[in-house]
Amino acid sequence: MKNKLSQLKSSLAEIRDLQYIAAILSWDQETYMPPQGARERGEQLGTLAGLIHERFTSPKFAKLLDLAEKEVAAHDPDSTEARLFKVTRREFEKRIKVPSRYYQELSQTSALAYETWKKAREEDDFEKFRPSLEKIIALRREYADYFRPYEHIYDPLLDEFEPGLKTKEVQAIFDELRPHQVALIRQISNRPQVEDTALHQYFDEQKQWEFGVEVITKFGYDWQRGRQDKTAHPFTTSFGLNDVRITTRILPDYIGSALFSTMHECGHALYELGFDPALARTPLADGASLAIHESQSRLWENLVGRSYPFWEHFYPRLQALFPTQLGNISLETFYKGINKVAPSLIRVEADEATYNLHIMLRLEVEIALISGELDARHLPDLWNSKMKEYLGIVPPNHTLGELQDVHWSHGYIGYFATYALGNLISAQWWQAIQRDIPDLNDQIRQAEFGELLGWLREKIHRHGAKFEGQELVQRVTGSGISPKPYIQYLQKKYGEIYGF
């Protein structure tokens, strides 16, 4: 007869399978599903969400969890078994506070909201999306209420994506970061602007696709365990340790969109493809947190993909693909162009120096919406005023403003802060990597990424969700999440580009 820990793993494996099935349905909705399938897809996802919740909170599962606890006590606290139990217990304690009906309703609402968001974005019509947004806000407030008392209403929502982190901690990190980013942007604004018009021409979409595939193949993306498709808003999803899929967005008149979204999503995928096989079909076969996940995508997109050594190798190939557009553009001009700092409307295409300001804006807006300080009717006005305050520009329409991101349609309120935190962590990893791999730039210059990927696999990827985000950063770098390495990175990089 199986011991209780083995029985617990079997139950968790079935739950994980249901989660992967739901992920397949969501992936299909964002890539190939016809628009009229939204309502039925929402019902299907709602049914699965209910089943997952019921299995996770059933009296039988609760009893099994209690019995397994006695066995786990004999294991090392850092063992896979002990960490699996810790993560499972934490999820169980959260889920038993929330009724099954809630998860079903959120899944159904989100599936419909996503299709409404797509139409509203295409038609530049915020009012079309507002009723869906209001319903999602109400549902997320309801979720937070299940966790009273809390220090801040936003805490339970942030915890969904960044376990253990509090709103006040994120705000403190951002408060330390903000003045440095603002000062850097001012320094740059006083220097002659770099030229990037070469990036804004017609670039054949198929050739853009082919170049992106070449790059991420070099990075180490395994095409036997993944695939790439097109979507309105790029994302990565996993259906198991051997099926991790990415998407990208290709714009015919701007090469940067597909170029960097492909690298970005590949970074997410490399993380999930690097989990220890022993974690398969368990809650540990997941990212430590969304900030850790984002640190991987931003590392490959920016610290590798926007670096000079990277383009020393890849730029001749890009020129060969686009001789008319880039044949007479020097490497230095191209490099400075892809790193141009200028206020922009779209978060996903923002430069490294201004990107975090987009996130701070969204965090403030989300907190205002959830706390009730902001009525959704007035979201466009607040969005525009914050854009003016932080970036000095105002969106000309809703599509380029509050409708640009997909997250709220999915119910992902509490998510955005993890993007900026991921930026900070990526720089912390990079400092540690450069200490351990002194010739890293030479390797990148030769398009040799094996040692870099190996370092990430050993230090970060293989652990999956064994350790919470802050704990993993502490273990690898010796400190918690800190903005200092990122600030140093930006000042050095842009000081060289803009000459200050």
**pLDDT per position as a tens digit, 195-238:** 999 999 999 999 999 999 999 999 999 999 999 999 988 999 99
E strands of 78-231, at which residues? 228-230
Question: Side chain identity at 391, as an amino acid letter?
Answer: L
DSSP-derived pairing of the beta strands 228-230 and 236-238 = unpaired
Q: Cα(176)–Cα(484) distance, rounded to whole angstroms? A: 9
From the number of C-beta atoms within 10 Å of its C-beta (0-12, 13-18, 19+), residue 462 rates as middle
Q: Cα(274)–Cα(241) distance, rounded to whole angstroms? A: 8
Average pLDDT over residues 42-68: 95
From the number of C-beta atoms within 10 Å of its C-beta (0-12, 13-18, 19+), residue 211 rates as buried
- Residue 283 neighbours by CB distance under 10 Å: 19
**Residue in the block written with tokens 């990175």:** 489
Average pLDDT over residues 290-305: 98
State how far the alpha carbon of 3 is from the alpha carbons of 10, 148, 266, 274, 326, in Å: 11, 36, 39, 29, 64
Average pLDDT over residues 123-129: 98
Could you tell me the two tokens for 223? Answer: 């095409």
* Catalytic residue (choose from 265, 272, 402, 468): 265
Average pLDDT over residues 377-391: 96
Q: What is the pLDDT of residue 349?
A: 85
Q: What is the pLDDT of residue 2?
A: 64
State how far the alpha carbon of 304 is from the alpha carbons of 12, 294, 298, 442, 494, in Å: 37, 14, 9, 12, 15
E strands of 111-168, at which residues? none
Could you tell me the two tokens for 30? Answer: 């964002």
Average pLDDT over residues 76-104: 95
Q: What is the pLDDT of residue 232?
A: 83
Are residues 476 and 429 in contact, defined by beta-carbon separation less than 8 angstroms?
Answer: yes
Looking at the domain that runs over 167-498, which CATH code has it been given? 1.10.1370.30
Cα–Cα nearest to 425, from 304, 288, 291, 305: 291
Q: What is the pLDDT of residue 348?
A: 87
Q: Cα(298)–Cα(368) distance, rounded to whole angstroms? A: 28
Mean pLDDT, all residues of the chain: 96
Are residues 428 and 472 in contact, defined by beta-carbon separation less than 8 angstroms?
Answer: no
Task: Report phi then psi at 42, rounded to 5.
Answer: -60, -40
**Residue in the block written with tokens 């739901």:** 22
134 labelled catalytic: no
pLDDT at 1 over 50: no
pLDDT digits (tens, 9 = 90+) for 397-456: 999 999 999 999 999 999 999 999 999 999 999 999 999 999 999 999 999 999 999 999
Whole-number CA gyration radius for the chain: 23
pLDDT digits (tens, 9 = 90+) for 169-180: 999 999 999 999
Sequential DSSP letters for 341-393: ----S-GGG--HHHHHHHHHHHHHHHHHHHHTSS-GGGHHHHHHHHHHHHHS-
For the chain, residues classed under CATH 1.10.1370.30 are 167-498
Could you tell me the two tokens for 449? Answer: 């990424």
**Residue in the block written with tokens 């923002």:** 350
Could you tell me the two tokens for 9? Answer: 């793993």
